[in-house]
Structure 1
Amino acid sequence: YELTIKPAKAEFLGSLGSGASFSCEVCDLSGDGELEGNIIIQWFNNHNKEITSDKDERVVVAKDGTKAKKLVIRRIIESDAGDYRCAFRVGHITNSKSIKLSVFKDMSFDHAPNPQHPRIHTTAIIECQVSGVPAPEVSWRFNGKKIIYGDKYKQLTKGLQIKNISLADNGNYTCIAEISDSGRYDEKRITVVVHVPPVMIHGPGHQKGIAGHELSLYCKAESDPMPSYEFYKGKNEKLLTSSPSDRIQIDSHLGKLTFKPLKKDDHGIYRCKALNDVGEASANGSLHVLVAPHIYELKNVTAQEGQDAKITCKSHGDPMPFMEFQKVGHSPFKNGSNDGGRITVRHRPANILEIEIKKVQPHDSSNYTCLTKNSAGEHNATSHLTVHYQPKFPSDHIRQVFSWSGRLHNITCNAHGNPHPTFEWWHLERLLTNNETFNIFTSARNSSLQIRVREADQSWIFGEYICRAKNNKGSKDMKILHSRASLPDPPSDASVKENTPNLLIINVKPPFSVGGVKLLGYRIEYNNKVTDFTTMRISNLLLGDDLKMENLKPATQYQFKVRSRNEVGVGKYRELVATTLNITKPYPIKLVSPKQSKDPWSYKIVWEKPKTGGKPIKEYEIRYRRVRMKQDGISEPLENWVSKTKDENAYKPSVEYILSNLNPKTNYQLQIFAKTDIGTSTQSEKFIFKTAAGKYITNFEMILKRFR
């Protein structure tokens, strides 16, 4: 008998995970084709243990006809490798034969990601898991150089272990797998970039913001790669999120938390976390939300005269606002007692301010502003206190008016009250209404009685008139005497104040009685001439008025009748006799121009209309020279006098003259003389002026300037 195994070779190479089939057959060599007795065929493993079919039928042993038995391995695993023996027995005859199953697996890189980013300063593993049957040998190269295993480098199943990896270990690594017996070889290149976990540079800090305004919290960390940021709020560290439409915006790239706008509820503790793929860092901060003051209750108040009134202002804010009351047009009230204790300002509690006014008076009616402020801002609101009272007349109310026949005259009555009063006019115990004699014009606070005074009515039209003002709180009367106006008395005095050949200045004192109406002025009559003057010194009657009588004849006696004038007419006269002086030379010229010139190169001289001395002025002589002013105020001449003349026009008298070609910022002394046929006026008072600052120009430049 002969035993054969198929496949007919000593060794079978099976791939891991694939299947294998071995057939063991007994052949009869006698040639008759018949086997004697029962044939027993068995398969044994390398442990000489009979192989039978397993439960999951991965390994199956089955007859293949009467003379063969087949061993089938449906899925080869690594432990299946070894010798398999087939044995038979026929009667007393036995024999066996073996075949070797060698298991192999192609090399593969099961896990070798690229690139890889280990965390700096750790014992890192550059992952490269290689499998194969038989197991391949693994070696490494770094930037083309072979890595020698030792304290820094160690080969593990997962890959290459690098102790205390740093940025210097960044580069290209080659993971090499090879099986030298079979000559198989493969490699995997891996780029390694060491990543640095975030280090917080600055956190949100302790910030303050104002509710209603925009505010941002920032944090910043350094890492590689750059971190993203998250923000958490409160002790429970609630993660904050945002969308484009939200009030709170988070920029995870810049580390920015923005409130648009801030609310009081945003107050609290915040934590900023910076993260990347190898670590994280965080920093805490806080946000104190300040709330600007807001007055949420302040009402208008109405009280009766003599009652107590209270205005209450309620506000809120953070920090608690400072509060005070201010009456319009006045300084703020102080806390506590004001106005001798009649007005009291107090807090009840800190956010409520009261102002209490005892026995209110009409003048307490006003706007009262509640002023609140804190470090976040300020808010003001106004309450109006209305005091109701019966009508009142001002203490300085007019009590007498004057009028006369033929005149339309108004008597005005002023009264105030709350509510606004209505008015009535009474005369001779009779209520007046509009007619041909009386017309009444009334507004909110006054009433005017217009009286037409006729000659026929003078027996009763004058006398006492009553203005009655009333409202629902009461009424008050004001008595006004309507008196007949008269012509003014003669002036109380008239005297010559100044005498020249052509002019008299007469000083006139006001009359003892002006007739009850305004003094308009005076009238002077002489030689069938009448001149009216308006009074100029109403505020100082003791000085009287200086009246100029011009164009008189020299050495001539005049008889003046001086009368007082008022709205009624012209009164009786006071007589004044005066004689003008003889003709003389002109009087000294009085300079009235400013002593500081506005121009660097010229000066405008101005003088009063001169007193001629009785003869017309023919010309003026103007002298000027440069001077230096000493510390004691005395002037020192720097040159001789420069003289100019100006002809006079008797029909158009001169009162000004312009000096030109002067030096800038220079003091000049000035004299001016008037000349007539009689002689020349004496020197005027010493007069020094100064030109304005400016660039000095030559005479040639001055000539060009004049022609331009």
Structure 2
Amino acid sequence: MLAHSRQLITCLGVFLALSYRTAAQNDPKLVLQPATGNLTTAIDSDPFIECTVQPQTAKGAVANVRWLDPEGNEIGDKGLNNRKYTKNAFGGTFGRSLKFFKGQKDDSGLYKCVADFYGHDRLETGVYVVFYEDIKFEDAPTLQHPLLNTAGKVRCLVSGNPAPIVEWWHNQAIVTSGGRYRVETDGLVIEDIGVEDNGEYTCTAAVPEMGRSIERQINVEVHSAPEFKADGLPKPARGLEGRSASMECEATGIPMPEIKWIFVPNGEDVTKLEHDEQKTRRHTVDPVTGTMNINDLKKVDQGQYKCMAENAAGRKEETAELFVAEKPRFDVVTNTTMHENKSATIECTVRGDPAPTLRYIREGTELPITADTDPRYVLVENERELRLTINDLQRSDDGLYTCEASNEAGVETKASHITVQFAPSFANTPMHVAKTWMGNLEAVNITCIAESIPNATIRWQQRIINSPHHLPTKDITEQMEQDGYKIENRGPSSSLLVSAVSYDIFGEYLCIASNELGESTHVVRLLQATVPKPIASVRVEELTATTVRFEIISPNDDENLILEGYDVFYIKVATEENFQQAPARSWPIGVPYTVEGLEPGRSYRFRFYPKNRVGVGAAFDKEVSMPEIGPPRPPTFLPNGNDTSGEATRYRLQWQEPNDNGAKIVEYKITYWKASEGREASRVVTTRAPASSYVLTGLEGGTTYQVEIVARNERGFSAPLELFFTTGHGRFSSHALSSAQGFHKIDPVEGDVQLSTPVIIGIAVAAGLLLALIIDLTCFCTRHAGLTHWLATRLCGKSEKLKNHDVENIRHTETDQVDKASSYLIFSNLAYHDSNKQNGSNTANRTQSDDTNLYERIADSGFCEGDEQGRYQVGATRSLSMGSLVQLETDV
């Protein structure tokens, strides 16, 4: 039955086919869309090919349209993993479509569309499908750096399917193989490439059959690997701790190599060290020269450093050593304390690299201690250690010994102290004698200085001379202050303050110092001071008609107090004057001992008294006869007095007014002449006294002049003052030929007599004071007011006013003022005299009546006329002690 059915269908198909052929007169065929025998498409694309039966009316005669792959296998419907499949034709037409999904190169081949045509051969058509690989630059960087002087290759590797054709262009010209150029599949090779080959190259890839062409622009920059310069190679270096060090590393290359420094011990790149938060960066590298600087060097910086020069063409490395010299540092510095005459050792040890040189230097010296410095010194030196031993120690060895350690990194010092212990010594105690006197209100200070190590304990004893109790010594303690003793200790110094409360204080005082090494005693004699011994002699040093200057030879009184001065009284010889009414002068030690205002031709008797703090010594008399009035003494130059005036035609002379020898100087005669012409050509000028300068005018520049200046009074001319000067042109030099002559620099002035500004001011002030004094005295005499009246009431209380002739004496007579002042001086001296009489002293040879007259004269001196209290005070002085007298004098 089934076989019968198949035969029936076949017969029907054949019938229909015959009927169609007869009717259409055309055979059915398969048509591909797109209508091409070849289909070329890119990999990963999704092409499709449609196969339809034409005409469509042949659908009944044609059946089973299908696609076969290149291997002849039928391609089925779409599956999960199929890259190619079939489906019905689009738009419901009769046929079958072949579709590709992301076709690949291995999908390429001949694909056939076939169909059954009953009673005929099967219908068949085909298409060659090619999945091609697009042109791709596999290795063609746009910037390339072939190495200098090599067979540099400009890379351009191209891929594609079909295989592309590659062409090279440079500077708009095609490049082919030949000469220095060789075209290879992966690039262009240029033999012995140089910088002249730099530039832009074009690599063109084309597939003509595909109509496909692309190109790549490649910039070529020829590079060279780093090389160190001959003088830039890293070299071993040395640096000092705390300073800086440099290491060179200069390289060449294209492009310029980058320099890096590696600290080999830890592999650290020092050029990348971060900045310390508290300090600036210690490691720096110059980007041009490659030089590495390390600041504030530390010992940890010592070691090998590797310099790396690197660029795109390669890398170069060199290694060098850095040595850091370490400053000396002390580990041990000893001090020592040892007894005198023993041995003492000190030592110092140090660190430092290289090993420091050690030496000892004694404080206060500059040269180091060596074995030759002193035979007592022994030096022992080991590496980084020095030991000094001093044998037979002396006190002078006590002190600082500086250990000096030095190397190339620096110098360090540290001192050791050697303390020499010794028994107490009074070698530096200057006091051996002290002096005081009964009645002295000030305690005498007896001091001793006990040098010792360790410190000494000091105690005091007194050895009494002629002790009534036959006690050789007595201890003085701090509890004896009521007996006139007070002890003050200040370290090694001890002072014993002794008050003159009795004669028992005089004698010898023992300062006794002791420590564990021994004891020592120093003796100070306390002597009883007295009034001075008599003056040894008095001679006249200079004598004029009205003045006399004495030279007083002091008494030889070494164990007594030093002199404080001299008092002198003087009277006219062969007159009724006596020393009770005598004028007086008082001189401190060291001043000119001059008496002025004496009468020419008179003989005077002078009585001299030496005085010290105890009182007045015995008198020394000397008689002097005054010469008659005569010519004045010669003028003298003022030290630094004369000098050039600054002008070539003028010169200022200046001198010091001489003693007039009893007659007032009326004028000065000046004679001057050119030294080259002699005195015969002299000129003479005069200037009236008082004068101390004169300006010579009309002089010639650059000329030496000789000058004589004489003073004249009514008795004649003085001896001349002689001098020389030389004029100049704006600048002068002058000199005096006599050793007693000189010059004084004064600005040029006009006129004969010139007064300086201070002199003018002084005259003005004196005139003002004189006017004020006259007004004050007028007020005193007429109105009982003014400064004079106030002073009188202060001195004399509310006594009756001063007499008119006393006012006149105060106003006009200087001599009376001097006499009154002298009377107080006499009073003071006599009071000292009386005080010393009470003490048993041998004082001035005065009688009781003389003293009484003197006291009465002082009381009646006129300063406090009518003041009975003054008389009472004078009388009371006979019983006063010296200290009270001093206060009384102050009150007066």
Verify same fold: TM over 0.5: yes
Work out which of the two has the higher radius of gyration on C-alpha atoms and give 1 or 2. Answer: 2
Instruction: Look up the match of 2:636.
Output: 590
Contact in 1 for aligned 2:669/2:687 (Cα 8 Å): yes
Contact in 1 for aligned 2:176/2:183 (Cα 8 Å): no
Structure 1 residue 269 and structure 2 residue 316: aligned?
no
Q: Considering fraction of residues, name the structure with more strand.
A: 1
Structure 1 residue 193 and structure 2 residue 221: aligned?
yes
Contact in 1 for aligned 2:642/2:654 (Cα 8 Å): no
Structure 1 residue 438 and structure 2 residue 485: aligned?
yes
Q: How many residues align?
A: 662
User: How far did 1:670 drift?
Assistant: 5.0
Distance (whole Å) between structure 1 residues aligned to residue 545 and residue 392 of structure 2: 73
2:494 pairs with one of 442, 447, 453? 447
Structure 1 segment 525-674 matched on structure 2, within 5 A: 525-527=569-571, 528-536=582-590, 547-594=593-640, 597=643, 600=646, 607-621=655-669, 646-649=687-690, 670-674=707-711
1:249 pairs with one of 247, 265, 283? 283
Deviation string 1:493-516 (CA, Å, 9 cap, x unpaired) is 332333333333333333233552
Aligned-partner residue type, residue 540 of structure 2:
V
Structure 1 segment 454-469 matched on structure 2, within 5 A: 454=501, 457-458=502-503, 460-469=504-513
Distance (whole Å) between structure 1 residues aligned to residue 155 and residue 677 of structure 2: 108
Deviation string 1:376-399 (CA, Å, 9 cap, x unpaired) is 222222333333333211266432
Distance (whole Å) between structure 2 residues aligned to residue 186 and residue 352 of structure 1: 84
Contact in 1 for aligned 2:446/2:497 (Cα 8 Å): yes
Ranges in structure 2 where 5+ consecutive residues have no aligned partner: 1-26, 76-80, 89-94, 116-120, 465-472, 572-581, 733-747, 751-892
CA RMSD of aligned residues (A): 4.8
Over 3 Å counting, the alpha-carbon distance change for 1:326 and 1:625 in structure 2 is farther
Aligned-partner residue type, residue 261 of structure 1:
D
Distance (whole Å) between structure 2 residues aligned to residue 171 and residue 637 of structure 1: 108
Distance (whole Å) between structure 1 residues aligned to residue 640 and residue 224 of structure 2: 84
Deviation string 1:231-264 (CA, Å, 9 cap, x unpaired) is 1234896644412238653558464545453111
Contact in 2 for aligned 1:488/1:514 (Cα 8 Å): no
Contact in 1 for aligned 2:40/2:131 (Cα 8 Å): yes
Instruction: Look up the match of 1:329.
Output: 364
Instruction: Look up the match of 1:167.
Output: 195
Distance (whole Å) between structure 2 residues aligned to residue 587 and residue 412 of structure 1: 54
Structure 1 residue 13 and structure 2 residue 40: aligned?
yes
User: How far did 1:687 drift?
Assistant: 3.8
Aligned-partner residue type, residue 158 of structure 2:
V
Distance (whole Å) between structure 1 residues aligned to residue 685 and residue 355 of structure 2: 80
Over 3 Å counting, the alpha-carbon distance change for 1:177 and 1:314 in structure 2 is same
Ranges in structure 1 where 5+ consecutive residues have no aligned partner: 36-40, 537-544, 628-634, 696-700, 704-708
User: How far did 1:148 drift?
Assistant: 3.9
Over 3 Å counting, the alpha-carbon distance change for 1:484 and 1:252 in structure 2 is closer
Instruction: Look up the match of 1:278.
Output: 313
User: How far did 1:406 drift?
Assistant: 1.1
Aligned-partner residue type, residue 408 of structure 2:
S
What is the DSSP-based 3-state SS (H/G/I as helix, E as strand, rest coil) of the residue aligned with 2:722? coil
Over 3 Å counting, the alpha-carbon distance change for 1:252 and 1:568 in structure 2 is closer
2:204 pairs with one of 141, 158, 176? 176
Contact in 1 for aligned 2:428/2:449 (Cα 8 Å): no
Deviation string 1:113-157 (CA, Å, 9 cap, x unpaired) is 222233333322222222223222222222323324322222222
Instruction: Look up the match of 2:526.
Output: 482
What is the DSSP-based 3-state SS (H/G/I as helix, E as strand, rest coil) of the residue aligned with 1:108? strand
Instruction: Look up the match of 2:539.
Output: 495
Structure 1 residue 228 and structure 2 residue 258: aligned?
yes
User: How far did 1:661 drift?
Assistant: 10
Distance (whole Å) between structure 2 residues aligned to residue 282 and residue 196 of structure 1: 15
What is the DSSP-based 3-state SS (H/G/I as helix, E as strand, rest coil) of the residue aligned with 2:196? helix
What is the DSSP-based 3-state SS (H/G/I as helix, E as strand, rest coil) of the residue aligned with 1:291? strand
User: How far did 1:228 drift?
Assistant: 2.1
Q: Considering fraction of residues, name the structure with more helix.
A: 2
Distance (whole Å) between structure 1 residues aligned to residue 516 and residue 657 of structure 2: 67
Structure 1 segment 104-253 matched on structure 2, within 5 A: 104-201=132-229, 202-215=232-245, 217=247, 219-234=249-264, 239-240=269-270, 241-245=272-276, 248-251=282-285, 253=287
Contact in 1 for aligned 2:429/2:449 (Cα 8 Å): no
Aligned-partner residue type, residue 660 of structure 2:
T
User: How far did 1:598 drift?
Assistant: 9.0
Distance (whole Å) between structure 2 residues aligned to residue 598 and residue 199 of structure 1: 82
Distance (whole Å) between structure 2 residues aligned to residue 666 and residue 643 of structure 1: 18
What is the DSSP-based 3-state SS (H/G/I as helix, E as strand, rest coil) of the residue aligned with 2:393? coil
Distance (whole Å) between structure 2 residues aligned to residue 367 and residue 237 of structure 1: 49
Structure 1 residue 387 and structure 2 residue 428: aligned?
no
Which shifted more, 423-432 or 680-689? 680-689
Deviation string 1:210-230 (CA, Å, 9 cap, x unpaired) is 223455545444444343221
Which shifted more, 194-203 or 302-311? 194-203
Over 3 Å counting, the alpha-carbon distance change for 1:18 and 1:222 in structure 2 is same
Structure 1 residue 683 and structure 2 residue 724: aligned?
no
1:343 pairs with one of 377, 381, 387? 377
Structure 1 segment 44-63 matched on structure 2, within 5 A: none
Which shifted more, 385-394 or 516-525? 516-525
Structure 1 segment 305-324 matched on structure 2, within 5 A: 305-324=340-359
Aligned-partner residue type, residue 114 of structure 1:
T
User: How far did 1:305 drift?
Assistant: 2.8
Contact in 2 for aligned 1:174/1:190 (Cα 8 Å): yes
Deviation string 1:579-636 (CA, Å, 9 cap, x unpaired) is 2333332232222433885974598765455232332222334566788xxxxxxx88
Deviation string 1:348-375 (CA, Å, 9 cap, x unpaired) is 3142233322233333332333333333
Aligned-partner residue type, residue 363 of structure 2:
V
**TM-score, normalised via structure 2 length:** 0.63
**TM-score, normalised via structure 1 length:** 0.77
Over 3 Å counting, the alpha-carbon distance change for 1:305 and 1:73 in structure 2 is same
Contact in 2 for aligned 1:302/1:387 (Cα 8 Å): yes
What is the DSSP-based 3-state SS (H/G/I as helix, E as strand, rest coil) of the residue aligned with 2:261? strand
User: How far did 1:52 drift?
Assistant: 12
Instruction: Look up the match of 2:883.
Output: none
User: How far did 1:557 drift?
Assistant: 2.5
Contact in 2 for aligned 1:667/1:691 (Cα 8 Å): no
Which shifted more, 359-368 or 159-168? 359-368
Aligned-partner residue type, residue 490 of structure 2:
S
Distance (whole Å) between structure 2 residues aligned to residue 692 and residue 439 of structure 1: 75
Distance (whole Å) between structure 2 residues aligned to residue 314 and residue 679 of structure 1: 91
What is the DSSP-based 3-state SS (H/G/I as helix, E as strand, rest coil) of the residue aligned with 1:685? strand
Aligned-partner residue type, residue 588 of structure 1:
P
Distance (whole Å) between structure 1 residues aligned to residue 729 and residue 449 of structure 2: 57
Aligned-partner residue type, residue 648 of structure 1:
A
Aligned-partner residue type, residue 261 of structure 2:
F
Distance (whole Å) between structure 2 residues aligned to residue 663 and residue 226 of structure 1: 85
Contact in 1 for aligned 2:667/2:688 (Cα 8 Å): yes
Structure 1 residue 516 and structure 2 residue 564: aligned?
no
Structure 1 residue 296 and structure 2 residue 331: aligned?
yes
Distance (whole Å) between structure 1 residues aligned to residue 201 and residue 552 of structure 2: 124
Aligned-partner residue type, residue 374 of structure 1:
N
Structure 1 residue 505 and structure 2 residue 549: aligned?
yes
